[in-house]
Amino acid sequence: MKPYLLSIDQGTTSSRAIIFDQQGNLIHSASQEFTQHYPQNGWVEHDPDDILQSVLNTIKQTLNESGITVAQISAIGICNQRETTLIWNKKTGKTIYNAIVWQDRRTAQYCHELSEQGHGELINAKTGLLIDAYFSATKIRWILDNVEGARHAAEQGELAFGTVDTFLLWHLTEGQSHFTDATNASRTLLYNIHTHSWDAELLALFDIPRSMLPEVKNSADDFGTCHLFGAPLCIGGIASDQQAALIGQGCFTEGMAKSTYGTGCFLMVNTGKLALTSHNKLLTTIAYQIDGEASYAIEGSIFIAGAAVQWMRDNLHLFRCATDTEDLLAKTNLNHGVYFVPALTGLGAPYWDPDARGAISGLTRASGINEIVSAGIQSVGYQTKDLLAAIEQDGISIHTMRIDGGMAANNWFMQFLADILAINIERPVTVETSALGAAYLAGLHKGLFDSTAHIQQLWQAEQQRQPQLDREVVSALYQGWQDAVRKVLVCQ
């Protein structure tokens, strides 16, 4: 009997290994943070060894602590921070450069040139994405152009590229599997989301050899076998973390929405079989691919959400622990007039301004720590409202949104979201939704779940919040936010 699923959630700031049962209950988890490297202004890197070791450590820890044996695990699911780019030697498995993280802005100038040259429309039509340093392609190109000998080695077919899923898979299968899934492929700027293939024209544009790229599979598929933990373990599911959260939140029906509040915030709406094109700078992306059939989502991506809380904690030392913010917020009126625009790594959707930088405005002699912290947390709600407005302008209306991620644990924030967005907000019992989504995919592959409808029924609300704040108050607060954002924008 193999009643459990093991999920790996390799995120931006930490790695987690979580064991779930077949009802989607979290049985045991282990997590490990790792170091962020900021070698230059706007650059963000991870040591590939930290990524790998933290994953292996947490798997061992969760197995040891839970007492669950490998023989009781049906399959592994992997979900991962998206877009982050790694390149390694196919023979040795050794990476040739650090992982360039999704937040890294080093290729912003090159992206600007591509836009100036008029490539935006073609790229958007094929990939559903916009030209931005966020995605993998320009990071791959940067490594090939800046690491000595890399381009030559790539042209000789000696190098492999992967997003974090592919990198982990390579090591978990000891070099046997060079695969990714359609959701991860859809974040590279190289994958045609309509023809479901790596796009020759885009590979030529970015000057990236085809031989580096992994084979693209379904999100629930046979990704290989891991022999590292004493007995063979099938790897049966892979999805990028935000798409995995959509799955873990049971958002399989067209129009269902989730928003994940981790380092950044990623709001996704399932658009079913329709790859809807946004006219408001949202992304079109593959939500999941099962049995050869892709479902799509429209997405708004905010680069700094929980990271603003982290920054206020670590750089300004305004509180000791993220959970302390709730007490502080409970004591603070909403109408303090302070706005914090957390453009610490530029602004994502719907502004896409890599050169915008953060600002705190509206300070008076009455302002203090409480007001600044409140402004920081409110900024995540306002940014979500910016996304919701763009989604509505694209013709989609949302009445309920399911939330998850570290910051979703904050009850004050949850109520503020309901108020400022004027929609219902729901939080599930299992907030580790990305890991859960990856586990579900692995379970689907193994036949533990017979359909996505089966998975959808497992979702349970832990808390629901309705809007309470007066509309005029909401409108005045949001107006103040829009004024504050205008002041930091560089690309108008």
Ligand X SMILES: Nc1ncnc2c1ncn2[C@@H]1O[C@H](COP(=O)(O)OP(=O)(O)O)[C@@H](O)[C@H]1O
Ligand Y SMILES: O=P(O)(O)OC[C@H](O)CO
Residues of this chain that interact with ligand Y (CB under 6 A) are 11-12, 81-83, 102, 240-242, 262-264
- Residue 83, annotated as binding a ligand: yes
102 binds, among ligand Y, ligand X, none (CB under 5 to 8 A by kind): ligand Y
User: Which range binds ligand X by CB under 6 A, 123-131, 202-210, 305-313, 443-451?
Assistant: 305-313
Annotated binding residue at 173?
no
Q: Which backbone phi and psi does 14 adopt, to 5 degrees?
A: -155, 165
Question: Binding to ligand X by residue 328, rule CB under 6 A?
Answer: no
Is position 134 annotated in a ligand binding site? yes
Closest-approach residue to ligand X (CB)? 406
Site for ligand X contains 330 (CB under 6 A): no
14 touches ligand X (CB under 6 A): yes
Of 413 and 449, CB closest to ligand X: 413
Residue 389 tokens read as 């407005």
Residue nearer to ligand Y on the CB measure, 242 or 310: 242
The half-sphere exposure of 58 on its side-chain side, counting CA atoms within 13 A, is 24
Using rule CB under 6 A, residue 322 touches ligand X: yes
Question: Which segment (109-117, 304-312, 333-341, 472-480) binds ligand X by CB under 6 A?
Answer: 304-312
- Cβ proximity to ligand Y, 4 vs 135, nearer residue: 135
Q: Which of residues 393-452 bind ligand X (CB under 6 A)?
A: 405-407, 409-410
Q: Does 11 bind ligand X (CB under 6 A)?
A: yes
Which of ligand Y, ligand X, none binds 14 (CB below 5-8 Å, type-dependent)?
A: ligand X
CB nearer to ligand Y: pick between 218 and 263:
263
Q: Is 306 in the site for ligand X (CB under 6 A)?
A: yes
350 binds, among ligand X, ligand Y, none (CB under 5 to 8 A by kind): none
Q: Could you tell me the two tokens for 237?
A: 């599911």
| Per-residue burial over 230-262, b = 16 or more CB atoms within 10 Å of its CB, e = otherwise | eeebbbbbbbbbbbbbbbbbbbbeeebbbbbbb
- Closest approach of Cβ 128 to ligand X, in Å? 23
Structure tokens at 313: 């904690």
Q: CB under 8 Å to 204, separation ≥6 — which residues?
A: none
248-287 positions binding ligand X, by CB under 6 A:
262-263
x/- string (CB under 6 A) for ligand X, residues 351-390? ----------------------------------------
* Shortest Å, Cβ 92 to ligand X: 29
User: How far does Cα 260 stand from its chain's mean position?
Assistant: 8
Whether residue 475 is annotated as binding a ligand: the answer is no
306 in a labelled binding site: yes
Q: Report d(CA 317, CA 44) in Å as an integer.
A: 22
Rounded Cα distance between 248 and 90, Å, is 33
* 263 has binding-site annotation: yes
| CA pair distance 77, 333, nearest whole angstrom | 44
Q: How far apart are CA 270 and CA 255, in angstroms?
A: 5
- Closer to ligand X by Cβ: residue 68 or 101: 101
Least CB distance to ligand X at residue 236 (A): 22
Among ligand X, ligand Y, none, residue 82 binds (CB under 5-8 Å by kind): ligand Y
Q: C-beta of 87: minimal distance to ligand X in Å?
A: 23
CA 51/CA 169 separation, integer angstroms: 12
Closest CA to 12 of 246, 310, 263, 301: 263
Q: Give the Å distances, CA to CA, from 48 to 32, 107, 146, 361, 435.
A: 14, 20, 18, 38, 20
**Interacting residues of 206 by C-beta distance below 8 A, sequence separation 6+:** 137, 138, 140, 141, 189, 190
Cis peptide before 3 (omega within 30 of 0): no
Could you tell me the two tokens for 439?
Answer: 């586990």
Calpha distance 219→445 (Å, rounded) = 9
d(CA 140, CA 118) in angstroms, rounded, equals 21
Give which of ligand Y, ligand X, none residue 381 binds (C-beta under 5 to 8 Å, depending on kind). none
| Residue 253 is assigned to a ligand binding site | no
**Concatenated DSSP letters of 433-457:** HHHHHHHHHHHHHHTSSS-HHHHHT
- Comparing CB distances to ligand X, the nearer of 271 and 415 is 415
Structure-token pair, residue 474: 């909401």
Task: Mark the binding-site residues for ADP, compressed into ranges.
Answer: 12, 16, 263, 306, 406, 410
In the complex, the residues that contact ligand X under the rule CB under 6 A are 11-14, 262-263, 306-307, 309-310, 322-323, 325, 405-407, 409-410
Q: Which residues are part of a known binding site for ATP?
A: 12-14, 263, 306, 310, 406
